[in-house]
């Protein structure tokens, strides 16, 4: 597995608001109270990233495209 890193996806000025794990693509969002200070926002993202466990792409449920097409034709949601 490739080394995981935290990458910021969205900035509000100089404050990081949303981050993502480069290995498993899990997103981390900064709570509103922490968006007031850059340091609090950075710490929030860092803690969320450090505490998460990556799930490999193979372990994620992936619906069969044929089943999805059948559900779409039948009007199921």
Per-residue confidence (pLDDT) for residue 75, from 0 to 100: 55
Per-residue confidence (pLDDT) for residue 2, from 0 to 100: 73
Band (70; pLDDT cuts 50, 70, 90): very low
Burial of 6 (0-12, 13-18, 19+ CB in 10 A): middle
Q: Which residues contact 19 (CB under 8 A, 6 or more apart)?
A: 6, 7, 8, 9, 27, 28, 45, 48, 49
Instruction: At 50, list the tokens.
Output: 């450090």
Given a cut of 50, whether residue 64 has pLDDT beyond it is no
- Structure letter (DSSP) for residue 58: G
Band (1; pLDDT cuts 50, 70, 90): low
Give the range among 18-22, 56-60, 73-77 with minimum mean pLDDT. Answer: 73-77
């Amino acid at each position: 597995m490739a080394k995981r890193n935290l990458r910021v996806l969205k900035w509000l000025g100089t404050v990081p608001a949303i981050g993502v794990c480069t290995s498993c693509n899990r997103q981390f969002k900064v709570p509103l109270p922490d968006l007031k200070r850059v340091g609090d926002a950075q710490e929030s993202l860092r803690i969320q990233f450090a505490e998460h466990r990556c799930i490999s792409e193979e372990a994620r449920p992936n619906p069969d495209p044929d089943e999805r097409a059948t559900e779409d034709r039948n009007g199921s949601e």
